[in-house]
Structure 1
């Protein structure tokens, strides 16, 4: 095992570890945690420990409670298989008729493949880089991502790293929100799981040869949003839990008060028979798992009509988040660590397949005021519609002319959703932190030729987990706090005076430098709208 290795923290609730090994061992690797011997799996040049519990199972009366630290390990056990994923809310994928087979393949096998099995007994970890999976705070698990790809790339580059991933509670199990939840101090449990996993790493990573002072937190989609929230919580003090951050398709996002989730809470209470209970939160703790899960599955998911206006997500609870994350950024409540943040070119296409029935400006305005910007006056929405015209040549997937227009408003809605949830928060964050800390930014335009989807949300994962150039930039950043050094195109920092984007491309030229100035007026206005109207 290599020592003093920096590592990435990938968030999920069973911990799993992947470390470099000097040779292909026949004997299974072991590690001592407290007084227990934990046996892993040897695979090529890496050792893996899968499914190590890092907190007490959040079952029984611990459902809807803060994660409880696990007692010292005193019984030896095998960590040769992933633990179950957290309870999942599988999305219902909208598939319009006539889609190209390539698009169908990405939709059904690549983007949202089901994570099974799942269980409430889910807080376990896998070791390697510290990674936070995405899934719209509704799906995801450590077993979906092969961390050995990252570790093997680090070995190739002679910058060895440890990869750590962990489960965290999603859907209502992790993000129940209401006045009752706030009063009990149990909001944002999924985020608290992630934080507990980070504390576990500080205690135990040295047993695996890792350096607890060299943690990089890394995530994609909801995982990247989570990374952004860890940057702004606790007054911007990382409390020694990490020294750098890497965000794919996510930055600190605009979110509202925890009581904004009251309607979903009340729905679960009604559906589970808890309406007459004197303590509805305690009643929800006691209802059978299947009853609660069935009720959760009746709430909107990330690919439902309201899409990225998520039902289950972090909210301002006064504990983990004391204010809207973007307001915290304005207040300077940001961890002073180097970070990378970037997006795919066509973030919104995947999430706009469920809104093909919106065909007029009036319908689109109602949709935006209902789900995205509640309280926004008509004039504000009308200005957005000016900035994001119906002209298909200006919509997403971008630079595809009149192609991919599934409905009169599809490419327009895809552009609005992609900018509101991803591009505008990223650019806002970079603008606010320029000159205050080292920052790099990227844009992925790979797979641009995929019909309807273009360079869709999650397409960059095929690059980083494919062991390609993005993987090289990642492991260099984890090791040296600078993504450069692997022989790829030099990646300059992002500043307001030089907003450089490392742009990943298909074809003979794999990367080029571009400027982060596209849709300047539209995104500037979207930033302002995000700051004033939260969900």
Structure 2
């Protein structure tokens, strides 16, 4: 249904503005500083692609904080995507023959585009506007931060034309902005040397710099810098939460609302822990910098492909370590003052309205890397050594009772004994989905619901045979003109997801913890209580707060 709607939206044409700043009858353009930026019309929208928002982080600027872009001048052709940031290439997981073929297509939807170049020079963003927008339009702005485990992804993967076209159709026109940010070793290198140099969590600093760019320039496109909503999925949603937490919770006027899909502050510890130090030391050695007087300076000087090759040897979310990857943002004393879940409970956070939700089967797609874990003892050994290293074995063992090995109790949920690709797969999926997805969201909403407007959802929508309502499945709805996308548009425009005769979505409260629940069955929208697996999630949260990764 949505692919048909997408075709209608993209193919429809509204009356075009004759404004001199957005000349859509010929070549649309905007003026930034002393530059004319030429865009590309596409039906009811205009795209301005690949605009640099910071100086290229190359040469001596590699592994340093992003630097503001100098004033624009000349003519800028913004009709093609800019470079994607360098991605981590991981060894492919060999899926069992019993895994349905549709799973492969789902996984491929998250990968960066092969037809767009990769480069360190990747700090660019895209702006998609209604075709009749002009500098006095003052439209709300939805700022997209992509996911991909802080290892993969780009602003070219989910173009925003359908979101903008749909916003026009439902009477709440918005502007869509999507930024790139540095990934893996280029953006999230850890270790004590990196911390001492003040260059940790660089990808988050990139995002912040893009938000500053938006404040400076979005008016030229017809956007209102006072009506910015930041929005992301997975690593992008975790980024949104961290942008809400940093700077003592002061948003600096950069955004007024947030929309988080399958991501919140997660159970990560410090950026200079022994694990991350070993990763740093390994990359230094593999880059030929072990004997250098200043290893970090050496890493700045080696060819990018040398650093990438060293990075590619490190764990990823499809490897055996699964969610305990070296590239998750971690506390550095500056951008993230303390472990983010601990900071949530006793630290400030931007007091803005937000939406946050999960897919039912968050853990399925990230649990194929441990198929060789087949016994109860191996499962216990795995979660103890990988996730709760400093917790007693007896305390971790309680998880085995809370998440039994019975496939009928595991994820994908409500599928009986089906999809048990190994004796522990469905148990691992249920545990990991709660560990990084469901339990952190519940902590997030329960802690903040009485302090600021909160809306929460649960998606059991667009399920895929074999992995259920997997992590990221709701993106097909949000970027395809579906009901969750409409709620998002209204929230960006009005700070309330409701209206236009849509099914009513109440605010979340601890006395009435209601979730907007999306199903493939009829009715597609209903309300359910956020009380499922309460004992399990409370226990995981207790362990995670005491012993973050």
- Alignment TM-score, normalising by the size of structure 1: 0.94
* Aligned equivalent of 2:346: 331
- Find the partner of 2:195 among 172, 175, 182: 182
Instruction: Tell me by how many angstroms 1:23 deviates.
Output: 2.6
Deviation per CA, 1:452-483: give whole Å up to 9, x if none: 21101111111111111111000000011010
* Aligned equivalent of 1:218: 231
* Aligned equivalent of 2:257: 244
Instruction: Tell me by how many angstroms 1:362 deviates.
Output: 1.4
User: Aligned with 1:194: secondary structure?
Assistant: helix
- Name the CA distance, whole Å, in 2 between partners of 1:62 and 1:271: 21
CA RMSD of aligned residues (A): 1.4
8 A contact 1:27–1:42 mirrored in 2: no
**Residue 115 of structure 2 corresponds to residue 106 of structure 1:** no
* Aligned equivalent of 2:387: 372
- Find the partner of 2:497 among 483, 489, 502: 483
* Aligned equivalent of 1:526: 540
- Name the CA distance, whole Å, in 2 between partners of 1:267 and 1:496: 46
8 A contact 1:445–1:505 mirrored in 2: yes
**Residue 353 of structure 2 corresponds to residue 354 of structure 1:** no
User: Aligned with 2:366: secondary structure?
Assistant: helix
- Name the CA distance, whole Å, in 1 between partners of 2:91 and 2:505: 39
* Aligned equivalent of 1:3: none
Which aligned pairs between 1:229-268 and structure 2 lie closer than 5 A? 229-260=242-273, 261-268=276-283
* Aligned equivalent of 2:58: 59
* Aligned equivalent of 1:117: 117
* Aligned equivalent of 1:145: 158
Deviation per CA, 1:373-412: give whole Å up to 9, x if none: 2211112211111111111111100111111111111000
- Deviation above 3 Å: which 4+ runs of structure 1? 90-93, 111-116
**Residue 85 of structure 2 corresponds to residue 96 of structure 1:** no
**Residue 85 of structure 2 corresponds to residue 86 of structure 1:** yes
Structure 1: which 5+ residue stretches go unaligned?
Answer: 1-19
User: Aligned with 1:529: secondary structure?
Assistant: helix
Which aligned pairs between 1:272-283 and structure 2 lie closer than 5 A? 272-283=287-298
- Name the CA distance, whole Å, in 2 between partners of 1:212 and 1:514: 36
Instruction: Tell me by how many angstroms 1:113 deviates.
Output: 5.6
- Name the CA distance, whole Å, in 2 between partners of 1:382 and 1:494: 33
Deviation per CA, 1:268-293: give whole Å up to 9, x if none: 00101101111100000001111111
**Residue 58 of structure 2 corresponds to residue 44 of structure 1:** no
- Find the partner of 1:308 among 298, 312, 323: 323
8 A contact 2:190–2:326 mirrored in 1: no
- Name the CA distance, whole Å, in 2 between partners of 1:178 and 1:21: 53
Deviation per CA, 1:288-339: give whole Å up to 9, x if none: 1111111111111121111111121211111101001111111141110000
* Aligned equivalent of 2:33: 34
Instruction: Tell me by how many angstroms 1:488 deviates.
Output: 2.0
Instruction: Tell me by how many angstroms 1:114 deviates.
Output: 4.8
8 A contact 2:150–2:327 mirrored in 1: yes
* Aligned equivalent of 1:446: 461
Which aligned pairs between 1:352-501 and structure 2 lie closer than 5 A? 352-448=367-463, 450-501=464-515
How many pairs were matched up?
Answer: 514
* Aligned equivalent of 2:134: none
8 A contact 1:90–1:114 mirrored in 2: no
- Name the CA distance, whole Å, in 2 between partners of 1:112 and 1:345: 22
* Aligned equivalent of 2:144: 131
**Residue 167 of structure 2 corresponds to residue 154 of structure 1:** yes
- Name the CA distance, whole Å, in 2 between partners of 1:22 and 1:234: 43
User: Aligned with 1:442: secondary structure?
Assistant: strand
Instruction: Tell me by how many angstroms 1:360 deviates.
Output: 1.2
- Alignment TM-score, normalising by the size of structure 2: 0.92
User: Aligned with 1:514: secondary structure?
Assistant: strand
User: Aligned with 1:350: secondary structure?
Assistant: coil
Deviation per CA, 1:191-233: give whole Å up to 9, x if none: 0000000000000011111100100000001000100111111
* Aligned equivalent of 2:75: 76
Greater mean deviation of Cα atoms: 64-73 or 301-310: 301-310
- Name the CA distance, whole Å, in 2 between partners of 1:468 and 1:121: 35
Instruction: Tell me by how many angstroms 1:104 deviates.
Output: 3.1
